[in-house]
Chains A and B, each alone.
Chain A
Amino acid sequence: MALLNINGSDVELQAEDAMPLLWAVRDIAGMTGTKYGCGVGLCGACTVHIDGVAERSCQLTVGEVTGKAITTIEGLDPDGEHRVQQAWRELNVPQCGFCQSGQIMQAASFLAEKPDPSDDEILDAMSGNVCRCGCYQRIVAAVRLASTGS
């Protein structure tokens, strides 16, 4: 039994300490916005925030995040209106959409830390998040839009 704080609520989960957070969130907590893409921390589809910082949930165990604030895409904004989500909609970013919750979580954390990034900083910050459909041009534009409003 684990006690995790997810999206501001304490939840008891039937998950052993060694279980990757990804599977605890998806299978046990039943929140499926966080995606499995590689399991080795190389695609970013499973990105969540731990105490506000983007992390790969497949690379963290339940034990490691106990007592920390976990935010998933479902909890990024209570109304789903985070400026990054809005920018994504304004630019019609996704194709298949599967990687996008991870992309959005990565971008939101990055912009919180670096509100006015350069293009190169955006490209670098987002390079751990794979989009096989190849939406990068719009992803980068959406991060910029969320950052500067233009």
Chain B
Amino acid sequence: MLKYLEETQVTGTGSLLVQKLSRRMFLGTGTAFAIGAFATQAQAFPTWATGATAMPNGVREDPLIFVSIDEDGTVTLVAHRSEMGTGARTSLPMIMADEMEADWERVKIIQAEGDEPKYGNQDTDGSRSLRHHIQAARKIGGAVRHMLAAAAADRWGVDAATVTVANHEVKSASGDVLGFGDLAEAAMAMPVPAHDEVAYKSEDAFRYIGKGQVQITDLRDITTGDAIYGADVSVEGMKIAVIARPPVVGGRALSFDATDALNVPGVISVHELPYSNIPAKFAPLGGIAVVAENTYAAIQGRESLIIEWEAGPHGGYNSEPFMEEMKAAAGQPGVVLREQGDPDAAFADAARTFGQTYTQAHMAHIAMEPPAALASVTDQGIEIWAPVQSPYTTRTDVAEAMGVDPANVKVNVTLLGGGFGRKSKADFVTEAALLSREVGAPVRVQWTREDDVRHSFYHTASAERIEVALDEDGKVTGWKHNSVAPSILSTFAPDSGQQFFIESGMGHVDMPFDIPNVRCHNGKAMAHTRIGWFRAVSNVPRAWAIGSFVGELAAELGRDDRQMWLDLIGAPRSIDPVAEGYPENFWNYGEPMDEFPIETGRLADVLNMAADGIGYGKNLPEGEGIGLAVHRSFVSYVACAAHVKVVDGNVTVPEMHLAIDCGYAANPERIESQMQGAAVMGMTLALHSGITYRDGAVEQGNYYDYDVSRSDNYPRNVVTHIVPHPFSVHSTGVGEPGVPPVAPAIANALFHATGKRKRDLPMGVEV
């Protein structure tokens, strides 16, 4: 068992756990790791196939791209994935450092610019950083350790098999010592060994991997204000732009008067940007840009614009009637995506049937850092500084919009002040590039919070209808689930109103219950705004619907919630997608099913872990309750047990347990922080987050009408349980899968606390 887990179980509460761990945030000196069997008895770890090879530009494993060593011994490691809070910029370099026996205190991290042909895929999205790059990180570190050993052996004229590498030093059998710095040049000139020539560290020799005792890379800079985010970069002659965008997607300015704006002190110029309508991928919305000497002047200038807008084709988008249409569609037959057994017969023969409909409003990501990007367009090319999740597609998108070769665009990646999917769309960067060209100077585009709330790529709105057929014993014999929601595909291609296979794969057609007759179908819903992905994407409404429904079904049948879940999950099995009627194009998060199967035993295990952790079944005072939910997403299994207490008519969550099975836990400390964050974001979307439209325009604007969970009401005492696995159990996703089970667990707990059932997200703070 991981030491981390022992701590979890001993200390009982998350905050204590963190404290105890971090108090010992020393980094052990490690044990000398003998290269020993160099090239003769190499112990290469068995590799496995992942979906990384199907991602654009795949994975690079060349240590010469990722590692450099200075003569003073400083090891510089390249982080090629963006840092938006998940810890990717810490965890992948940490794995390289451990495998190469570098001392973390002497490691420097630099951020790769957007260059996938060089670094491999950089699209920091889909909870893929560790899942796709953990093997490469070990290979890179192991290869460099061998190169250091070989260089030292050469210097000493001894067999490389006789030298040891430990903690930034190489030692000979006779006691000679060379530091990494002494060997820097020679080591990096050595041939790079092949994977099967490398003796990798055994897991018990890991110093950082799996320990969770490494401080995050930017910790000091973050706490001193020196960390650099998108709006923190300045270059000589830079101007600031703030843009008035069409309130309705696809709209445009019929006319505008910039006279007053141009009279604002500090305002330099006003520019109209080209408009777009869906599907326009990540093209900017267009609008009227005010360019100024500083942000305040730009904001003042924009407020002084007089603009007559034309709404365009989506001016009739109103959330209330649209939701009613979706609910109606959910009650009708849709396009069948999964058909197992004979669901119609099961319903016809049922002793009884039971069904409910669950909805979710749109959501905006509202990362703490509103979008901001700096572009400098000159005759020499285009240089970008921006907080982007996908720097290479940023580069190609900007190149396309500017009509230049991507070779002439350089994208520097700053830290991201949160991303959650919003910052994988580079519309705000393209705006800066277009304006820099217009103005003839570097331009930083600053989005205000209102811009961010009103002009995002929104989490879809949805209606999910679930019905079951029951036999006389109350056993579920049939399941029908109609998912209705505008599709992300509408951002990329003409809208058919139907979802596509990636959305269907996120908790809809992969419903894992042991039910003989299943139909998953999809009713039509057209998009009238820019639909994008939000942390956990379609899993949020699916887990909300399925998780809430299991709670309702338990109540309907008079059963215990945990038993209801376990009955539905059934005996542990590895799902055969063909036998269970999954569609041929079933999307397993891009991963091969044989390496990343759907294992229902792991679902049950995390459910029990969370339920046991919170003391499920204990007696609670009136007005309190415990709810459960479990969901597989991003190839990980996460269960949530939430304790709800109604205080003065408001929903509070005094305790929450999240149990995650994410395969091998490379950095448990960041996994825990992601689960703590998922608890808060899950509670936020359960209670607060609803973007609504009137006449095509978003009705909300800032925290005053689009609030989030704050420290006076967030899930207190979040305890994270991590299922321990050896390295051979493939690491899966962490950033996203914590979110989906939280809202249904809260709703189920609220039901037990009050008897009231909520079916629409956001459910509101007040009971």
Contacts and interface: CB of A to CB of B under 8 A. Distances in A.
A132 B225 contact: no
Contacts of A67: none
B228 A32 contact: yes
A45 B229 CA distance: 13
Contact of B222 (A38, A100, A128, A132): A100
Contact of B216 (A40, A92, A132): A92
Q: Which applies to chain B's interface (DSSP): helix, strand, loop or mixed?
A: loop
A130 B673 contact: no
Contacts of B418: 95-96, 98, 132-133
A43 interface: yes
Contact of B368 (A37, A92, A123, A145): A37
A92 B369 contact: no
A28 to B, nearest CB: 7
Interface string B446-465: 10110000000000000000
Given A43-B368, A95-B85, A141-B15, A135 B702 contact: no
Nearest to B418: A96
A140 to B, nearest CB: 6
A115 interface: no
B225 A89 contact: no
Interface stretch (B97-105, B245-253, B631-639, B674-682): B674-682
A38 B703 contact: yes
B237 to A, nearest CB: 14
Contacts of B415: 96-98
B484 to A, nearest CB: 28
Interface size class of B (residues with CB under 8 A): 35 or more
A130 B223 contact: no
A123 B85 contact: no
A82 to B, nearest CB: 9
B19 interface: yes
A108 to B, nearest CB: 11
A27 B295 contact: yes
B368 A138 contact: no
A127 interface: yes
A131 B368 contact: yes
B296 interface: yes
Contact of A135 (B23, B231, B673, B704): B673
A63 to B, nearest CB: 13
A34 B15 CA distance: 27
A2 to B, nearest CB: 12
B234 interface: yes
Contact of A132 (B14, B367, B718): B367
Interface in A95-138: 95-101, 104, 122-124, 126-138
Nearest to A139: B711
A95 B673 contact: yes
Given A27-B296, A96-B369, A132-B366, A104 B710 contact: no
Interface size class of A (residues with CB under 8 A): 35 or more
Contact of A23 (B229, B296, B677, B678): B296
Contact of B215 (A89, A128, A131): A89
A42 B702 contact: yes
Which of B83, B294, B420 has the largest number of chain A CB atoms within 10 A? B294
A134 B678 contact: yes
Contacts of A124: 712
B765 interface: no
Interface in B673-695: 673-674, 676-681, 684
A50 B299 CA distance: 25
A36 B717 CA distance: 30
A92 B22 contact: yes
A92 B216 CA distance: 7
Interface in A8-31: 16, 19-20, 23-24, 26-28, 30-31
Contacts of B714: 134, 136-137
Interface in B287-333: 294-296, 299
A96 B368 contact: yes
B614 interface: no
Contacts of B677: 95, 133-135
B660 to A, nearest CB: 15
A141 B369 contact: no
A50 to B, nearest CB: 17
B282 to A, nearest CB: 21
B640 to A, nearest CB: 14
Interface of B: 14-15, 18-19, 22-23, 25, 83-87, 215-216, 218-220, 222-229, 231-232, 234, 240, 265, 294-296, 299, 366-370, 415-420, 446, 448-449, 669, 673-674, 676-681, 684, 702-704, 708-712, 714, 716-718
Interface of A: 16, 19-20, 23-24, 26-28, 30-40, 42-43, 45, 72-74, 80, 85, 88-92, 94-101, 104, 122-124, 126-141, 145, 150
Given A95-B85, A134-B680, A137-B18, 20 more contacts: A27-B240, A36-B295, A36-B446, A38-B702, A42-B702, A43-B449, A72-B225, A73-B225, A85-B223, A89-B223, A92-B673, A94-B85, A94-B223, A95-B677, A96-B418, A97-B218, A97-B222, A101-B223, A134-B681, A135-B676
25 contacts: A23-B296, A31-B225, A32-B228, A37-B369, A40-B449, A43-B449, A89-B215, A89-B223, A90-B22, A91-B19, A94-B216, A95-B673, A95-B677, A96-B369, A97-B417, A98-B368, A100-B223, A101-B225, A124-B712, A127-B711, A130-B708, A132-B367, A139-B711, A141-B18, A145-B19
